[in-house]
Chains A and B, each alone.
Chain A
Amino acid sequence: MLFIMLRWSSMLRAAALSIAIAAIPFAATPVCAQQDQSQQPAQVAPPPQAPPATPLQQPAPNQTPAVSQPPARLSPVIVINASHGGTDNGARGPNGPVEKDVVLIFARMARSEFERQGYRVVMTRNDDSNPSYEDRAAVANAYRDAIFISFHVSSTGQIGTARAYSYPVSAPIAAANQTEVPVGPTGRPISLIPWETGQQSYVQASHRLADALQSTLALRFNGSPKVSAQFAVRELRSVAAPAIAVEVSSVSTEDPNSLLVMGAPLAFSIVRTVVALRPPGSSPNASLGPTGGK
Chain B
Amino acid sequence: MPRNLKITLAVLCVAVAIGLISLRGLHKRIENLSENTTSEEQERRELLKPAISTPTDVLVAAKIYWAAGPDSLAPQEVDLPLSADPATRGRQVIDTLIAKAPGPQQRTLPADAALLGFYILPDGTAVADFSDALASETPSGIESEQMAIDSIAHTLENNVPAVHRLKILIHGQEVETLAGHADLTGFFDLNPSAPAVVPAATFSSGSPVVPSRSVSESAVSKP
Contacts and interface: CB of A to CB of B under 8 A. Distances in A.
A171 B177 contact: no
A232 B143 contact: no
Given A171-B189, A230-B204, A232-B183, A196 B142 contact: no
Contact of A232 (B186, B198, B199, B205): B186
Determine the main DSSP class of B at the interface with A: loop
A196 B176 contact: no
A227 B205 CA distance: 8
A231 B189 CA distance: 12
Contacts of A222: none
A238 to B, nearest CB: 10
A209 to B, nearest CB: 13
A233 B217 contact: no
A170 B180 contact: no
A263 interface: no
Interface stretch (B3-11, B90-98, B109-117, B206-214): B206-214
Contacts of B216: 170-171, 173
B202 A231 contact: no
Interface string A189-233: 000000011000000000100000000000000000101111111
Contacts of A126: none
B54 interface: no
A237 B198 CA distance: 20
B142 A230 contact: no
Interface in B178-199: 180-183, 185-189, 198-199
B183 A250 contact: no
B99 to A, nearest CB: 21
B104 to A, nearest CB: 12
A228 B216 CA distance: 20
Nearest to A236: B183
B141 A155 contact: yes
Nearest to B189: A171
A165 B176 CA distance: 18
Interface residues of B, number: 41
Nearest to B223: A196
Interface centre among A173, A174, A207 (most CB of B within 10 A): A173
B215 A225 contact: no
A60 B206 CA distance: 52
A171 B201 contact: yes
A237 B208 CA distance: 24
Contacts of A227: 204-205
Nearest to B165: A171
B143 A157 contact: yes
B200 interface: yes
Contacts of B144: 154-157
Contact of B217 (A157, A174, A234): A174
A168 B214 contact: yes
A158 interface: yes
Nearest to A237: B183
Nearest to B207: A229
Nearest to B214: A168
B159 interface: no
Nearest to A224: B71
A90 B204 CA distance: 27
B70 A156 contact: yes
B208 A225 contact: yes
A32 interface: no
B146 A170 contact: no
B141 A250 contact: yes
B217 to A, nearest CB: 5
Contacts of B182: 231-234
Interface in B105-157: 139-144, 146-147
A92 B140 CA distance: 8
B141 A171 contact: no
24 contacts: A90-B140, A152-B181, A153-B141, A154-B139, A155-B140, A157-B70, A157-B143, A163-B71, A168-B203, A169-B214, A170-B186, A170-B215, A170-B217, A171-B189, A171-B201, A173-B219, A196-B223, A227-B205, A228-B204, A231-B212, A234-B181, A245-B142, A247-B142, A294-B201
The 5 closest A-B pairs by CB, nearest first: A154-B141, A171-B216, A232-B183, A168-B214, A234-B183
Interface of B: 70-71, 139-144, 146-147, 176-177, 180-183, 185-189, 198-208, 212-217, 219, 222-223
Interface of A: 83-84, 88, 90-92, 99, 133, 152-158, 163, 165, 168-174, 176, 196-197, 207, 225, 227-234, 237, 245, 247, 249-250, 294
